[in-house]
Amino acid sequence: MTIRSTLGGVRRKVLSSLHRRPASLGNCGPMVSFSFDDFPRSAYTVGGAILEASGVRGTYYAAAGLMNESSEVGELFHSDDLHSLLEKGHELGSHTFTHLSCRAVSASVFREDVKKGRNAIEKMAGIPCSNFAYPFGHVTVASKKSLQPELTSCRSIFPGVNGPGIDLNLLLANSLYGDLDQSKRAESLIAENARRRGWLIFYTHDVRPTPSDYGCTPELFEFAVASAVKSGARVLTVGKALTAAGLELATSGNGTPPRRLEQIASPPCN
């Protein structure tokens, strides 16, 4: 083990233990969610179509300032994509406005960018979007603390299976990158999730035949979706998985006072 990976493990432990917003999945698992960050158009046109073909839906974390731009993950979303994916039953989440790393700025600047990003997405989409993903997967103690009252959930890129206890300020998620040579890894995560009756969240970016280093091929994505369905897990958006666990959505950030999530005593899927 290298010094760097040891330090990474220590950092993850500290960040996982502080400023938690604990909730319980109850007996709701196994559940699997597929999410896309930034997000590139191929995540919707290709990834979304694969999900829809299996009768399931995904969560798209959009950084509003990236709209109509292009990056190494390809052409990024257009405003029409937001409406179109919502009509099909997918979920929109936010991802800051400028795709900002919380390691690069103060907690207050980060929080403002998170708020601006969420407000912009909510304005364009016309509905509340209170699930969030940390850009670059960067999390700091200060950012974790500062975001907690305002968002329903904050998704990290810390790997693992969520549940039975989950941290709404730091949902665990696993990359789905590359081609079919990565199918064993996806398959074993899905099997572990089924065994533990947990909540497995995947994240990726572009879905195309020659993906970026942060995306996957349609074949790998199709394999993971089919395996998740076959495992007997319910494949749900992040928001629907939280609702299944009896977690009420927070109010919109537009002028209304932030409200803590309430978990009812017995999740409805018991």
Of 15-23, 26-34, 36-44, 85-93: span binding Zn ion (CB under 5 A): 36-44
By CB under 5 A, the residues from 62 to 101 that bind Zn ion are none
Q: Is 38 in the site for Zn ion (CB under 5 A)?
A: yes
C-beta of 38 vs 91, nearer to Zn ion: 38
Shortest CB 96 distance to Zn ion, Å? 8
Number of residues that bind Zn ion (CB under 5 A): 3
C-beta of 214 vs 223, nearer to Zn ion: 214
Beta strands 70-71 and 74-75: pairing type? Answer: antiparallel
Of 30-38, 101-109, 155-163, 227-235: span binding Zn ion (CB under 5 A): 30-38
Of 33-41, 101-109, 145-153, 179-187: span binding Zn ion (CB under 5 A): 33-41
By CB under 5 A, the residues from 98 to 137 that bind Zn ion are 135
Cα dihedral across residues 81, 86, 87, 88: positive or negative: positive
Shortest CB 95 distance to Zn ion, Å? 6
CA separation for the pair 224, 244 (Å, rounded): 22
Of 38-46, 100-108, 184-192, 252-260: span binding Zn ion (CB under 5 A): 38-46
DSSP strands (E only) in the chain: 22-24, 31-38, 59-62, 70-71, 74-75, 91-94, 131-133, 153-155, 165-167, 174-175, 199-204, 234-235
By CB under 5 A, the residues from 132 to 161 that bind Zn ion are 135
CA separation for the pair 168, 105 (Å, rounded): 23
CA separation for the pair 29, 198 (Å, rounded): 5
Which of 15, 26, 33, 37 is in the footprint of Zn ion by CB under 5 A?
A: 37
Closest by CA position to 160, among listed 13, 43, 267: 13
Shortest CB 233 distance to Zn ion, Å? 25
C-beta of 156 vs 162, nearer to Zn ion: 156
Q: What is the 3-state secondary structure (H, E, C) of 192-250?
A: HHHHHCCEEEEEECCECCCCCCCCECHHHHHHHHHHHHHCCCEECCHHHHHHHCCECCC
Shortest CB 136 distance to Zn ion, Å? 6
Angle, in degrees to the nearest 10, between helices 107-125 and 79-87: 70
C-beta of 21 vs 155, nearer to Zn ion: 155
Q: Which residue is nearest to Zn ion (CB)?
A: 37
Note the residues at the interface with Zn ion (CB under 5 A): 37-38, 135
